Amino acid sequence: MQTLVLVGHPNLEASRVNKKWAQAFSEQSNVTVRDLSSLYPEWDIDVITEQKLLLESSRIIFQFPLYWYSCPPILKHYIDLVFLPGFAYASGYRLKDKEFMVLTSVGSAPEDYRSGGHNNFTVDELLRSFEQTVKYCKGKYLSPYYIYRSLAIDNDEIDATVDPMLSYALKSIYDPEAGHKKFIADTMQKIYERAMETD
């Protein structure tokens, strides 16, 4: 499976989490990493090249730090220029059935991202624009992957995020219902066992 990682960090060299993740991706086979800020310092996106890379990939990953509850502007600019009518939607839908995923680092704590919390919304809710963009283009939106407290964790903690992130991001088969199915099966098994104990 060919995977394309679009890194939307404004200064990847100064990053800790996203730099580590991008480096880890670059060491994998069948993964192409595009550091958009480095490739396009003047924001002059090569639309033809980027569209070709999208078409060659089965999975597209948007990787970025969460800035003001969204992605940094270079990634939004990329989407605006590359996901054109006739290519991504309208008469085109060239990205149909491709898998899309968001990987993001979040500065605050988990309890800040909930109804009534400091930021009022969950991270999943804040990423709805990505989900809708993918669905509008008839792609498959995979559940996002993110870590909290990215501003506070130390280098060892960052290193410890790499393997779980790679395992999740490059997993070959996704079943969004798998967790729920397992929960139901386990629960039914426990109910059955309790019923047998009372007989």
Residue corresponding to tokens 């393997």 = 163
User: What superfamily does domain 3-174 belong to in CATH?
Assistant: Flavodoxin domain (3.40.50.360)
Nearest to residue 36, comparing CAs of 13, 8, 14, 11?
Answer: 8
Rounded to an integer, the average pLDDT of 86-103 is: 96
- The CA distance from 76 to 68, in Å, is 13
Residue 194 reports pLDDT greater than 70: yes
Provide the H-helix boundaries in 67-177: 73-82, 123-126, 128-136, 155-169
> What integer best gives the mean pLDDT of the chain?
93
Residue 81, helix vs strand vs coil: helix
Residue 162 reports pLDDT greater than 70: yes
Nearest to residue 61, comparing CAs of 3, 12, 14, 123?
Answer: 3
Q: So what's the pLDDT on residue 169?
A: 95
User: CB neighbours of 136 closer than 8 A, spacing ≥ 6?
Assistant: 89
Partnered with residue 33 across adjacent β-strands are: 5
Alpha carbon separation from 6 to 23, 37, 48, 53 (Å, rounded): 13, 10, 15, 10
